[in-house]
Amino acid sequence: MSDVIILGAGIVGVSTGIHLLRRGRSVTLVDKNAPGRETSFGNAGIIQREGVRPHAFPRDLAMLMQVGLHLSTAARYEPLALPRLAPALLRYWWESSPEHYRKVVQSYAPLIARSIVTHADLMAQAGPDAEALVSKSGWLLAFRSDKGLRREAEKAREDALQFGISHRVVEWAELKQMEPALKGGLAGAIHWTDPWTVRDPGALVTEYFKLFERLGGTFVSGAANGLEQDAAGWATTVNGVRYTGKQAVVALGPWAPDVLEKLGYRLPLFVKRGYHMHYDTTKGAKLNTLVLDPEVGFALAPMARGIRLTTGAEFAARDAAPTPIQLDKAEKAARELLDLGERLDAQPWKGARPCTPDMMPIIGKAPRHEGLYAGIGHAHHGFTLGPATAELLAQSMTGEATAIDIKPFGMERFLGR
């Protein structure tokens, strides 16, 4: 028997295992895939210290019309999935109202503030191979329109005053000096200087996993057959073998409902799917810093494998067949900015971001069962918040005072409604 069973070896599960091992707990980590090969693998690689404002549901009519008519690259939906998604999306829209959203930001900002410090902590212990994956030069939120740039600059000034987030407004002439390979079509950018970027997110999770193993953690490869509570705590069966623990953590991202619903927790979780593709470049083009184009809806990130193009959100069933329509649109727009060469992947990578209607993750104890915990629902910020979530879970599970108040992230907010 272990002290703790963790289901899910993404960045949340691996990091939680590390924090518990540091506190003297024995840990068994279970996943059907290699650590960090799912949602933790296929993102833009930003540790988003500036991301105090989670992605709200669009409320302006023009954007809603673009999405509704499938004209948007930033977001699209699968019509057949809408009936099942409708209740969660309706609440997502409601929680995105100005009044509700202000409260969300106030609760969310302290969590985001733990992102850099908790990643830095794990990187330092994981060693030089982990730290070598990281750039600390920030990233660029680039705008094609001057109106968009000025509007975002005003928001950035407000966030600097309220949350202490550093940034610079970079006009086109300076942006061209920073990134000579950009071809034009941009008014300028917000240079967020506090965040870090990672040139291979999956590799960073692998380095964290190596630390997990060095600390004495046990990894079990295989699909867990749910969770069962018994007199000793919790048990799961993998490939016919029963594993037990005094406590259990569900860190399965978009697959969490497969376990939690059997235990009576019907949470309004939904997914935003996303795609990425790697590219070579032509004409000697090189990108030094990640560039995100919010007006079209894609990011270009310099990665170990090449330039990674990531898409916006696709509202669809978690396990539905890939429909990389957004990727094709984003690629066309990206080629206007940078001389991309051939695609380097045989097929687009597809992942599912686990989301909650109020844009905040679920972190902490499950209220109806002793010894059951969850760290799920991080949406666009799972890679950013994995170590911060792990810190809070481990503190809560071992009776320590938590680094920040975790009550706003409790599962209770979605139950009994």
Domain locations in the chain as residue ranges: 2-42+203-266+358-414, 62-97+130-196+269-355
Residues 6+ apart with CB under 8 A from 233: 1, 244, 245, 246, 247, 248, 371
Rounded CA separation 350/353 (Å): 10
Rounded CA separation 224/234 (Å): 12
CB-based contact 301:290 (threshold 8 Å): yes
Rounded CA separation 124/130 (Å): 8
Mean pLDDT, the chain, rounded, equals 94
Rounded CA separation 90/417 (Å): 15
Supply the pTM of this predicted model.
0.95
Helix or strand or coil: residue 63?
Answer: helix
| Encoded tokens for 125 | 């212990």
Residue 78 has a pLDDT of 84
Q: What are the strands, taking DSSP E only, across 32-129? A: 46-47, 75-77
Q: Which amino acid is at 176?
A: K
The DSSP letter of residue 119 is H
Residues 6+ apart with CB under 8 A from 411: 265, 267, 362, 364, 365, 366, 367, 374
Share of the chain above pLDDT 90, in %: 86
* Phi, psi (rounded to 5 degrees) for 279: -135, 150
Residue 209 has a pLDDT of 98
Residue 225 has a pLDDT of 85
* Phi, psi (rounded to 5 degrees) for 314: -115, 120
pLDDT in tens, 346-391: 999 999 999 999 999 999 999 999 999 999 999 999 999 999 999 9
pLDDT in tens, 163-219: 999 999 999 999 999 999 999 889 999 999 999 999 999 999 999 999 999 999 999
pLDDT in tens, 278-336: 999 999 999 999 999 999 999 999 999 999 999 999 999 999 999 988 999 999 999 99
Architecture of domain 62-97+130-196+269-355: 2-Layer Sandwich (3.30)
Residue 51 has a pLDDT of 97
| Encoded tokens for 222 | 């295989």
CB-based contact 394:16 (threshold 8 Å): yes
Please give the CATH superfamily to which domain 2-42+203-266+358-414 belongs: FAD/NAD(P)-binding domain (3.50.50.60)
